Chains A and B, each alone.
Chain A
């Protein structure tokens, strides 16, 4: 057997591979970073989506509340002209074949002579109007409510009868 003199490098550490413990720690760190990144994005999208759904729900409620301003007292309190249940969609402007998205189920409640604190003499001439929309997002039921008051001598009278007109 032929023998040769060789100089072993002083630092043998530079030639050794990663140990199993090092690889395991590196993999675990990579996994944690990856999961955190993915979770952050998913959470961001979920929050954005929830915010947009809330905004749409608010729009539907405000539409209803604007609409009741055109009803006079008798129509509001003594008629059934305003349906107590209604349906609306996330995308109301869909083209044929497009999905309208989430369905919002709405309810309206009218409470004449509401309990006011402090009590007022004109209480019997007021009506508490509440609108609620319910929808399901990601399997979680959600709800949003808007409440306002309508008065017998309120805005709907002059909105209905005004002939204020000066147009260019």
Chain B
């Protein structure tokens, strides 16, 4: 048990002044704002990194599959050639192809059989290859190269001359509906038919 004077007690228990509270509020606001910015930046960075990895992985898989398919193709079907679609006949005389739907931004791999009698595809199977694809393009070139590593454009009406397929696409993902991460792929693939 001790003896304490009134003057000591009043000094220890008095409230904060308006200036002290104002300074404290300002400081805490600045610190909170900095913390929120850091948290937002960190979250955005992690999401962006995840998006990049996912996009690259999907694009690599798609390009590997597409390259393997097109190299082994017997011939491409000029009747169904568009810049967003190519259909090929494989060595089993079945067919496969890749189609980009700009509305849904999905690239699909189609496969199945072809009925010469009815002139239509049968047993169509569709597998999604890419999603969030904003741009996709097939271009075809002839088999006879020219000087300067150039290849003449191929006419879709003459599939025998078409040996080189150029495919390009751009996929993207949104981060917090504001920032964009994207993956661009281009490749030239030679038909070994």
Contacts and interface: CB of A to CB of B under 8 A. Distances in A.
A37 B39 CA distance: 11
Nearest to A62: B187
B145 A70 contact: yes
B150 to A, nearest CB: 9
B76 interface: yes
B56 A93 contact: no
Given A67-B145, A168-B79, A159 B190 contact: yes
Counting chain A CB atoms within 10 Å of each CB, the highest count among B42, B46, B75, B116 belongs to: B75
A164 B49 contact: no
B114 A168 contact: yes
Contacts of B74: 164, 166
Contact of A162 (B89, B168, B193): B193
Interface in A138-168: 155, 159-160, 162-168
Contacts of B80: 168
A59 B166 CA distance: 12
A92 interface: yes
Nearest to A71: B145
A83 B77 contact: no
Interface stretch (B3-11, B22-30, B123-131): B3-11
Contacts of A167: 75-79, 89, 159
Contacts of B192: 69, 155, 159
B32 interface: no
A5 to B, nearest CB: 7
Given A55-B60, A159-B192, A63 B184 contact: no
A63 B145 contact: no
Contacts of B184: 90-93
B3 A6 contact: yes
A63 B186 CA distance: 9
Contact of B3 (A3, A75, A164): A3
B56 A55 contact: yes
B164 A8 contact: no
A4 B6 CA distance: 8
Given A3-B5, A93-B168, A165-B75, A81 B190 contact: no
B45 interface: yes
- Chain B: interface residue count, which band? 35 or more
B179 interface: no
B163 A70 contact: yes
A108 B89 CA distance: 34
Interface string B167-190: 010100000000000011111111
A6 B183 CA distance: 73
Nearest to B189: A66
B186 A93 contact: yes
Contacts of A159: 143, 163, 190-193
B33 interface: no
A41 B42 contact: yes
B115 to A, nearest CB: 9
B95 interface: yes
13 contacts: A5-B1, A41-B42, A41-B46, A44-B45, A52-B52, A55-B56, A62-B187, A63-B187, A66-B190, A90-B184, A93-B135, A159-B163, A165-B159
Interface of A: 1-8, 37, 41, 44-45, 48, 51-52, 55, 59, 62-64, 66-67, 69-71, 75, 79-83, 86, 90-93, 155, 159-160, 162-168
